[in-house]
């Protein structure tokens, strides 16, 4: 029996799911399991809005310090590269040209100089159509936080 909040969702209509900075706190296996479960459960036409912390633009020492602060209080935190986020979304179709963008660049034209301090990627994606062959889970990825350890 699903939790009461989920039971109230109308599965005969598309559902939008927000996974904003959720996956950095999950290991590869758990992140893949979550995305596979959403793929199986979401009705046709549903979309996923995802943001994910990255170390791609940060000074290495800064991100190592951040990962260390979380580790000091027992929280696992895994910034991932763009390639690693794309691997997690391999079965999904990324909309808006199929590319990840930084959260600072997300649909926000600016007249100011680019000051991307977001250190996160964003994407809107749709799950594969029902009945398509599942994409095999990738081999375990090494996250930036694990390389630093």
Q: Which domains does the chain have, with CATH numbers?
A: 10-108+117-148 (3.40.50.150)
- What per-residue confidence (pLDDT) applies to 131? 66
Helix (H) or strand (E) holding 102: strand 101-102
Q: Say how many Å lie between the first and final Cα of the chain, rounded.
A: 41
Burial 20-45 (b: 16+ CB within 10 A, else e): eeebbebebeebbeebeebbeebeee
| pLDDT value of residue 99 | 87
Residue with tokens 């986020």: 85
Digit-by-digit pLDDT tens for the chain (149 residues) are 667 877 788 888 999 999 999 999 999 999 999 999 999 889 999 999 999 999 888 778 888 999 999 999 999 999 999 999 999 999 999 998 888 988 887 766 655 555 556 789 999 999 988 766 555 444 444 444 444 44
Question: pTM, whole model, 2 decimals?
Answer: 0.80
């Amino acid at each position: 029996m699903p939790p009461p909040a989920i039971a109230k969702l109308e599965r005969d209509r598309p559902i939008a799911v927000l996974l904003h900075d959720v996956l950095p706190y999950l290991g590869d296996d758990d992140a893949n399991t979550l995305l596979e479960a959403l793929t199986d459960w979401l009705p046709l036409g549903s979309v996923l809005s995802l943001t994910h912390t990255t170390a791609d633009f940060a000074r290495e020492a800064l991100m190592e310090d951040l990962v260390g602060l979380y580790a000091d209080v027992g929280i696992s935190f895994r910034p991932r590269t763009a390639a690693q986020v794309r691997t997690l979304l391999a079965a999904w179709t990324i909309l808006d040209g199929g590319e990840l963008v930084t959260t600072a660049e997300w649909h926000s034209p600016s007249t100011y100089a680019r000051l991307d301090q977001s250190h996160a990627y964003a994407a809107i994606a749709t799950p594969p159509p029902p009945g398509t062959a599942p994409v095999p889970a990738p081999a375990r990825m090494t996250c930036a936080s694990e390389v630093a350890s």
